């Protein structure tokens, strides 16, 4: 059929208007003009400032599940550990006391700098400043321990005595705090201010749900960090010889109840750590991760306001359940990637601020490759400590 010039002009105008409305006009056939929907546009990347806003941040797609009800934490976040995409968050960048979740940053900082094997003889001076009411693994001055056992004391018993000893091996308390501050900045964690490396309540010491998720994600890249964080229990030396060999041991258990199922808290399927905490200032805190169907999620929960001592686990459980159900059904509200590496979607490698930029990539415990290029930041931590109750 031959169209007259006037009809062709009208169809041309209609096509232009339809294109602006997201409609594709198909060529005329047998005297008809068919309209079909245009392909959906890709979602715009999240506003970099979105996670800095107060309240809940969520970008649902069609069919997305509702967020869990009755979340009472002052701050929380759930993210995909592989891509770094933040799926939802509440007050993600609010600075709050972190309690023993600060030990994640301590381990990220000290593990790469200390020997992974060997022994160390504990001194009185190394234990002198352990705070009253601290959680302890039970180190004795004058006794020789395997370095690996000291790390088990950090991750399982949340032992502040073990942190003090390892910090002394790492150059001292103030040096370790400064290196932790630099490590946080290198990872793009800008909310954290380190005063006490063990997480003991100290004036000015804060972190955030966002930063703790960054630390947990980076920790999963270090095979030793990931292995210690996933241990449910281990024997610990009660007495040792000069070579650090125990003559008898006692059992220690991870304080993360989602991992152990203690105190009536059900275990979470696929849980792989990472660290919980409690102090009188921080309340109950937790950064944890779980793997399901080849996907690893991180959840951070800080200071639930209802539900008692174990609410932190139940709120984390609810967030992980939601995150797995929301796969492909929400747009990200942010990223755990440092701003400098965000365009390439590279994952940060666990390493100290002095680690060589040419270090070879490590394979993460989540199954993702984590490259090495991160620039160290700078920071100085204060030395004055405010002694409070610090249990995990």
158 belongs to the catalytic site: yes
Q: Which has the closest alpha carbon to 388: 146, 188, 203, 192? A: 203
**Cα 316 from Cα 310, distance rounded (Å):** 10
For the beta carbon of residue 272, count every other beta carbon within 10 angstroms: 21
Active-site annotation holder among 134, 158, 196, 208? 158
**If you search the block for the tokens 């030793």, which residue do you land on?**
224
Active-site annotation holder among 100, 135, 364, 392? 100
**Cα 301 from Cα 284, distance rounded (Å):** 8
Phi, psi (rounded to 5 degrees) for 65: -70, 155
Which three-class secondary structure string do you get for the chain? CCCCHHHHHHHHHHHHHHHHCCEEECCCECCECCEEECCCCCCCCCCCCHHHCCCEECEECCCCCCCCCCCCEEEEEEEECCCCEEEEEECCCCCECCHHHHHHHHHHHHCCCCCCCCEEECCHHHHCCCCCCECCCCCCCCCEEEHHHHHHHHHCCCCHHHHHHHHHHCCCHHHHHHHHHHHHHHCCCCCCECCCCCCCCCCCCEECHHHHHHHHHHHCCCHHHHHHHHCCEEEEEEEECCCCCEEEEEEEECCCHHHHCHHHCCCCCCEEEEEEEEECCCEEEEEEEEEECCEEEEEEEEEECCCCCCHHHHHHHHHHHHHHHCCCCEECCEECCCCCCHHHCCCCCCCCCCCCCCCCCEECCCCCEECCCCCCCCCCCCCCCCCCCEEC
Rg (CA), the chain: 25
Active-site annotation holder among 75, 103, 134, 207? 103
For the beta carbon of residue 191, count every other beta carbon within 10 angstroms: 20
Please give the torsion angle defined by the CA atoms of residues 122, 128, 129 and 132, in that order, rounded to the nearest 10 degrees: 110
Q: Which residues are catalytic?
A: 100, 103, 158
């Amino acid at each position: 059929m031959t169209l007259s010039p006037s009809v062709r002009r009208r169809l041309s105008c209609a096509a232009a208007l339809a294109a602006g409305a997201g409609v594709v006009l198909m060529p005329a056939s047998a005297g008809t003009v068919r309209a079909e929907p245009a392909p959906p546009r890709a979602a715009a990347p999240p506003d970099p400032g979105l996670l800095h806003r107060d309240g809940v941040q969520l970008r649902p797609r069609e069919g997305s599940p509702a967020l869990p009800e009755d979340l009472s934490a002052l701050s929380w976040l759930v993210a995909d550990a592989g891509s770094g995409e933040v799926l939802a968050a509440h007050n993600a960048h609010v600075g709050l006391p972190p309690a023993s979740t600060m030990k994640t940053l301590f381990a990220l900082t000290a593990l790469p700098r200390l020997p992974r094997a060997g022994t160390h003889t504990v001194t009185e001076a190394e234990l002198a400043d352990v705070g009253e009411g601290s959680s302890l693994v039970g180190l004795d001055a004058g006794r020789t321990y395997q370095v690996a056992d000291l790390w088990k004391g950090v991750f399982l018993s949340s032992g502040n005595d073990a942190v003090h000893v390892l910090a002394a091996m790492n150059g001292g308390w103030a040096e370790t705090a400064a290196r932790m501050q630099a490590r946080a900045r290198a990872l793009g964690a800008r909310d954290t201010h380190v005063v006490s490396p063990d997480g003991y309540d100290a004036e000015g010491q804060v972190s955030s749900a966002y930063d703790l998720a960054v630390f947990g994600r980076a920790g999963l890249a270090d095979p030793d960090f990931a292995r210690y964080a996933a241990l449910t229990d281990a024997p610990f030396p009660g007495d040792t010889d000069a070579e650090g060999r125990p003559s008898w041991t006692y059992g220690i258990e991870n304080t993360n109840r989602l991992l152990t199922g203690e105190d009536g808290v059900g275990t979470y399927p696929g849980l792989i750590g990472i660290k919980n905490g409690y102090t009188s200032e921080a309340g109950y805190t937790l950064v944890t991760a779980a793997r399901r169907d080849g996907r690893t999620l991180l959840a951070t929960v800080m200071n639930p306001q209802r539900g008692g001592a174990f609410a932190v686990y139940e709120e984390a459980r609810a967030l992980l359940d939601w995150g797995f159900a929301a796969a492909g059904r929400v747009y990200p509200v942010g990223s755990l990637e440092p701003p400098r590496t965000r365009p390439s979607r590279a994952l940060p490698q666990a390493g100290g601020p002095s680690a060589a930029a040419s270090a070879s990539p490590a394979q993460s415990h989540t199954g993702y490759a984590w490259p090495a290029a991160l620039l160290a930041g700078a920071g100085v931590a204060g030395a004055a400590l405010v002694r409070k109750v610090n249990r995990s």
